[in-house]
Amino acid sequence: MGRSDGADDLDTLPPGRWPAYLTERSGLPGPRANLPLAIAAARRASEDAIAALLSDGGEFPVMCAAAARARRSAVPAEEHAARALAADDHWRVREGVAIGLQLRAEEDPAAVAALVLEWVDDTDPLVQRAAITAICEPRLLRTPEMAAAALDACRRATDHLAALPTDRRTAPSARTLRQALGYCWSVAVAADPARGIPAFQALDSGDPDVAWIVKENLRKKRLASLL
């Protein structure tokens, strides 16, 4: 089976056939999902198609629906639905939300930067994780404004993690956020070293989770080459 994004076929399929089509071409089970196809679906999904994907319940169809919802997050109801999907139990569904926000950011970066800084203050670490992974994408950080938003999001998410009581830091949601912070900082700092390096070096390495985040980012070549 080819790995093309399937855009032409999606344009001609009725919504009810989207779940089976996407599942067949998902690349799952396997180590990598067919992300070009998920992106094509997110760009083209109608409300009926999104409903069909969510009703199907399969991991890849719901991932595509999550990406479509997040891409439409300018609409309050869609933003609410995307935020809920950002806390889904399935990591690929959560990744779909980040993909959808990145697609919207290509069209309206300022709006997504504002949304990210709202989501990163959510009480759920998984929503915070969606915020930082959405904006910490090199292709989106080519302006000072977006780079600053990425740094701010990483700082806030790190502060929220450090503020959690010890017994909550071992929860899967907190560990998922920590894992994302273990690479997102390097992306944000590389986009704006002048502001990013001092912000990164100011992190409190006396906190064990923050120390882990610092250590993991220092392993990334994009950051190591700047220090």
Q: Which pLDDT tens digit goes with each residue over 193-209? A: 999 999 999 999 999 99
Q: Up-side HSE of residue 187: CA atoms within 13 Å toward CB?
A: 22
Question: Does residue 25 lie within any of the structural domains?
Answer: yes
pLDDT at 90: 96
* Residue 3 confidence (pLDDT): 43
Q: How many CB atoms lie within 10 A of CB 194?
A: 9
Domain that holds residue 5: 1-107
86, two tokens: 């950002």
Q: What is the DSSP letter of 45?
A: -
Instruction: Please report whether residue 57 resides in a domain.
Output: yes
Q: Please give the tally of structural domains in the chain.
A: 1
What mean pLDDT is reported for the chain? Answer: 95
Q: Is the pLDDT of residue 1 over 90?
A: no
**Structure confidence at residue 6 as a pLDDT band (50, 70, 90):** low
**pLDDT at 223 exceeding the cut of 80:** yes
Q: Is residue 207 part of a domain?
A: no
In a domain, 163, yes or no: no
Cα 209 to the center of its chain, rounded Å:
21
User: 3-state class of 27 per DSSP?
Assistant: coil
- Please check whether residue 39 lies inside any domain of the structure: yes
Answer whether residue 178 is part of any domain.
Answer: no
Confirm whether 43 is domain-assigned.
yes
In-domain check, residue 23: yes
Is residue 6 helix, strand or coil? coil
For residue 198, whether the previous peptide bond is cis, meaning omega lies within 30 degrees of 0, is no
Q: Name the DSSP letter for residue 133.
A: H
